[in-house]
C-alpha cells in the first residue's frame, strides 16, 4: 500500500485511499498524523480582508470557495459550486451551488450566503482589503459610493443558484472566484468580525482547534464532514509562527518543526548539505521586474528600455546572488502557466554590444537613479544590475534610492520616481489575465509605470470576452506587446526553497505558483 501511495504522489484517488486506509491502521500511515508548519504572523484571518500569504494559506484550509483551482490543469474546478455557465458574451454567470455544504458551526450554505458575503465585503463601512476584486460586478461603484445598499449584479435566484452580472465580459471569473476574498462567510463574521477572526468558522477541509495564538501558533484539525472530493491528508496541522526564518530553519534541522516553505536566501546554497533529500526548490509565479517611469521623458524611447534590458546578464546575477533560486524571465506570463511560451522575449537576452550601440544611438541618460524598497533583500541584486549597466552601457553614475515600503509607494503615487524601480507581482489566481491586466492596462491602480497602450487594452478586453481557447491567443498577443514595448524589464520568477523533517514524505511536498505550500497534501511517514 505504501508503495502504491508514494508512486502516485498527489492525486485525488490517493487522498481517498489514504483516508480509508489511514483510519484503519493508524500506525504505518501515509496521511494522518500531525504536521507542524512554519508560518509568519498573519495580518488577519478574515477572508475578505486577507491579502498576504501568511493569512491566506491558512484560510485556504479553513474555507472553500465557489471554485478551486486544479494546479495540474490550471483550470477552475468545483468547490462549493458544482457547475457554472455564462451567457454568450461572458457578462452574466450562473453558479449552481452544491447541496449539503455547511459551515463548521452547522450554518447552512446557500446562494444567499454568497450574496451576503459579497455585499458585506464591498460595503465601504467594513473597510475590507479585498474590496477592489469585486469591481467586476454590476453595482460595485454605487455600493462603494454609498448610493446603494447592495451589489445590484449579485443575486440568489433560488437557494442553490447564484447569478452574477458583470460590468464587462470577464471569462476568467470562475478562476478569480477561487481567490481568498470570495470565500463564503457565516453570519457570525458580520456580527463581530474581531471575535470571528480569533477562531474563524469556515466551510473548509480543516476547522480551527482552539483560538489563534498570536505570534505562537494556529492549529487546525481535519473537518470530517467536508463534502468536497479531496479531503486533507494530515489529521492536524499546526502552523508555528516565527518572526525569524533563520530560527525556523534551525528548528527543522533539529526536528522541532516539520516543514519550512521559505528557506532564507543565505541558506539556499547549503540546504542540500544540511538536508540531503529533504529539500527542494519550487518555481513560482512570484515575478520581479524593473519598471520604467514612463512619465519621465528619458524613458519614453523604447530603444533605451530595450538597451537597459539587454545589458543585464540575468543568469550571472541569479547564480552569484541567489544561488540559482530564480528563473530568468523571458516572459510576463509566469512559465508554469499553460499559456506561457519559452523565449517570448526578444529583448531579454544578454547582448552587451548590441545594447551599448542601441543605448548610444538612442541617447540614453548618462546618469541613473535606481529605486527599490529597503530591508527586503533587494540591495545586492539592484547593485549588481546597476554595475552591469555602468559596465556595458557607459552610464557614468548610478545613485540608489532605497526607501521603506510605505514611503516607496507614496513616491509612486505622486509619480516622482525618476529612474528604473523594482517591484514585484504574485498571482492570486493562475490566470494570464491576472499576470497582466492589473499592472499594465491604462489607469489601473497597480500600473506604476503609467503604461498606456490602446492595442494592449483592447487585446485584454477581447481575451476577457472570449471563451478559454481563443482567450489564450489574445493574452499571448497582449504579452507580445508588453515584451516589445517593455514598460518593465522582466527580471526573474522566484523559486522557493522548501526543507522538511524526516517525518514528511518527500514526494508529498508540493508548492503551487501562488507560493502556497500544499499543506493539506503532506504525508506523515512516521508517528512519534
Partner 1 sequence: MTGYIIRRLLQFIPVVIVATLIVYAMVFLMPGDPIRALSGDRPMSEQVQDRLREQYNLNDPFLIQYGKYMWGVFTQGDFGTTFQGRPVLDIIQQGLPVTLTLAAVAFCFQAIIGAIAGILAAVYKDSFIDRFVQVSLVVAVALPTLAIAFLLQLTFGLNLGWFPIAGTRDGMVSYILPGIVLAAVSTGIVARMLRSELIEALQSDYVRTATAKGMKRSRVVTRHGLRNSLIPVVTFLGADLATMMGGAIVVESVFNMPGLGGQVFRSIQAQENTIVVGIVTLMVLFYVVVNLLVDLLYAVLDPRIRYE
Residues that bind partner 1 (CB under 8 A): 41, 43-44, 51-52, 124-125, 127-129, 131-132, 135, 144-145, 193-194, 197, 213-216, 240-244, 246-248, 250-251, 253-254, 256, 375, 403-410, 413, 423-426, 428, 438, 445-446
Residue nearer to partner 1 on the CB measure, 45 or 312: 45
Taking each helix axis from N to C terminus, what angle separates 454-464 and 432-440, rounded to the nearest 10 degrees?
A: 140
**Secondary structure element (H or E) that encloses residue 208, with its range:** strand 206-208
Residue with Cβ nearer partner 1 (41 or 188) = 41
Quick one: 3 or 406, whose CB is closer to partner 1?
406
Q: For partner 1, give the closer residue by CB, 141 or 396.
A: 141
Smallest distance, partner 1 to C-beta of residue 214, A: 6
Minimum CB–partner distance for residue 344 and partner 1 (Å): 23
Min dist. Cβ of residue 187 to partner 1 (A): 19
* Residue 254 beta carbon to partner 1: minimum distance, rounded to whole angstroms: 5
- Closest distance of CB 445 from partner 1, Å: 4
169: its cell numbers: 465580459
CB atoms within 10 A of CB 24: 7
Residues 217-237, buried b or exposed e (16+ Cβ, 10 A)?
Answer: ebbbbbbeebebebbbbbbbb
The position carrying cell 455547511 is 102
Question: CB-wise, 62 or 241, nearer to partner 1?
Answer: 241
Nearer to partner 1 by C-beta: 21 or 130?
Answer: 130
Q: What is the DSSP letter of 41?
A: P
Our measurement of the distance from residue 264's CA atom to the centroid of its chain's CA atoms, rounded to an integer in Å, reads 19
C-beta contacts of 222-226 below 8 A and 24+ residues apart: 223/104, 225/102, 226/64
Nearest approach in angstroms of CB 329 to partner 1 is 16
In the complex, minimum distance from the CB of residue 119 to partner 1, in angstroms, rounded to a whole number = 15
CB of 436 to partner 1, least distance (A): 14
Query: 20 or 256: whose CB is closer to partner 1?
Result: 256
Nearest to partner 1 of 270, 391 (CB atom): 270
Shortest spacing between CB 350 and partner 1, in angstroms: 26
Where do the H-state alpha helices sit in 123-169?
A: 140-144
Joined together, the cell numbers standing for residue 438 give 492589473
Nearest to 53 by CA among 334, 443, 427: 427
Question: Strand 161-165 relative to strand 206-208: parallel, antiparallel, unpaired?
Answer: unpaired
Cα separation values, 190 from 42, 135, 139, Å: 20, 21, 21
What whole-number distance in Å separates Cα of residue 499 and Cα of residue 274?
9
Distance CA 349, CA 329 (A): 10
- Pick between residue 129 and residue 369 the one whose CB is nearest to partner 1: 129
Measured distance CA(99)–CA(108) in Å, rounded:
9
d(CA 503, CA 141): 51
Amino acid at each position: 500500500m505504501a508503495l502504491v501511495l508514494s508512486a502516485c504522489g498527489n492525486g485525488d484517488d490517493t487522498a481517498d485511499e489514504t483516508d480509508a486506509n489511514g483510519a484503519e491502521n493508524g500506525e504505518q500511515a501515509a496521511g494522518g498524523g500531525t504536521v507542524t508548519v512554519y508560518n509568519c504572523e498573519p495580518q488577519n484571518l478574515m477572508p475578505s480582508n486577507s491579502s498576504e500569504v501568511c493569512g491566506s494559506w491558512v484560510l485556504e484550509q479553513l474555507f472553500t470557495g465557489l471554485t478551486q483551482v486544479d494546479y495540474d490543469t490550471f483550470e477552475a474546478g468545483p468547490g462549493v459550486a458544482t457547475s457554472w455557465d455564462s451567457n454568450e458574451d461572458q457578462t452574466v454567470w450562473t453558479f449552481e451551488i452544491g447541496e449539503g455544504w455547511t459551515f463548521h458551526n452547522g450554518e447552512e450554505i446557500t446562494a444567499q450566503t454568497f450574496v451576503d458575503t459579497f455585499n458585506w465585503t464591498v460595503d465601504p463601512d467594513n473597510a475590507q482589503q479585498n474590496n477592489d476584486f469585486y469591481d467586476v460586478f454590476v453595482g460595485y461603484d454605487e455600493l462603494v459610493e454609498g448610493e446603494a445598499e447592495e451589489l445590484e449584479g449579485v443575486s440568489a435566484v433560488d437557494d442553490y443558484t447564484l447569478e452574477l452580472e458583470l460590468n464587462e465580459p470577464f471569462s476568467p471569473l470562475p478562476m478569480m472566484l477561487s481567490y481568498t476574498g470570495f470565500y463564503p462567510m457565516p453570519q457570525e463574521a458580520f456580527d463581530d468580525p474581531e471575535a470571528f477572526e480569533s477562531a474563524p468558522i469556515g466551510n473548509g477541509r480543516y476547522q480551527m482547534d482552539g483560538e489563534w495564538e498570536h505570534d505562537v501558533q494556529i492549529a487546525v484539525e481535519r473537518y470530517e464532514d467536508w463534502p468536497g472530493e479531496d479531503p486533507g491528508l494530515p489529521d492536524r496541522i499546526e502552523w508555528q509562527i516565527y518572526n525569524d526564518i533563520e530560527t525556523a530553519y534551525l528548528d527543522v534541522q533539529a526536528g522541532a518543526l516539520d516543514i519550512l516553505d521559505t528557506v532564507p536566501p543565505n541558506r539556499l546554497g547549503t540546504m542540500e548539505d544540511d538536508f540531503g533529500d529533504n529539500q527542494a526548490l519550487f518555481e513560482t509565479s512570484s515575478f520581479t521586474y524593473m519598471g520604467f517611469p514612463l512619465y519621465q521623458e528619458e524613458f519614453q524611447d523604447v530603444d533605451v528600455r530595450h538597451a537597459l534590458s539587454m545589458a543585464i546578464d540575468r543568469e550571472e546575477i541569479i547564480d552569484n546572488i541567489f544561488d540559482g533560486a530564480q528563473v530568468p524571465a523571458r516572459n510576463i506570463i509566469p512559465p508554469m502557466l499553460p499559456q506561457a511560451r519559452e523565449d517570448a522575449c526578444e529583448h531579454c537576452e544578454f547582448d552587451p554590444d548590441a545594447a551599448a550601440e542601441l543605448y548610444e544611438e538612442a541617447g540614453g541618460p548618462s546618469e541613473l537613479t535606481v529605486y527599490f524598497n529597503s530591508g527586503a533583500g533587494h540591495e545586492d541584486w539592484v547593485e549588481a544590475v546597476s554595475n552591469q549597466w555602468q559596465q556595458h552601457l557607459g552610464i557614468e553614475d548610478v545613485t540608489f534610492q532605497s526607501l521603506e515600503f510605505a514611503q516607496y509607494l507614496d513616491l509612486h503615487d505622486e509619480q516622482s520616481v525618476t529612474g528604473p524601480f523594482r517591484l514585484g507581482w504574485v498571482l492570486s489566481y493562475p490566470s494570464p489575465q491576472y499576470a497582466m491586466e492589473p499592472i499594465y492596462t491604462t489607469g489601473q491602480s497597480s500600473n506604476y509605470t503609467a503604461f498606456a497602450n490602446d492595442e494592449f487594452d483592447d487585446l485584454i478586453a477581447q481575451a476577457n470576452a472570449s471563451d478559454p481557447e481563443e482567450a489564450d491567443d489574445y493574452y499571448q498577443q497582449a504579452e507580445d506587446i508588453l515584451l516589445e514595448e517593455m514598460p518593465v524589464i522582466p527580471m526573474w520568477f522566484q523559486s522557493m526553497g522548501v526543507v522538511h523533517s524526516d517525518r514528511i514524505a518527500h514526494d508529498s511536498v508540493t508548492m503551487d505558483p501562488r507560493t502556497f505550500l500544499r499543506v493539506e497534501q503532506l504525508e506523515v511517514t512516521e508517528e512519534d
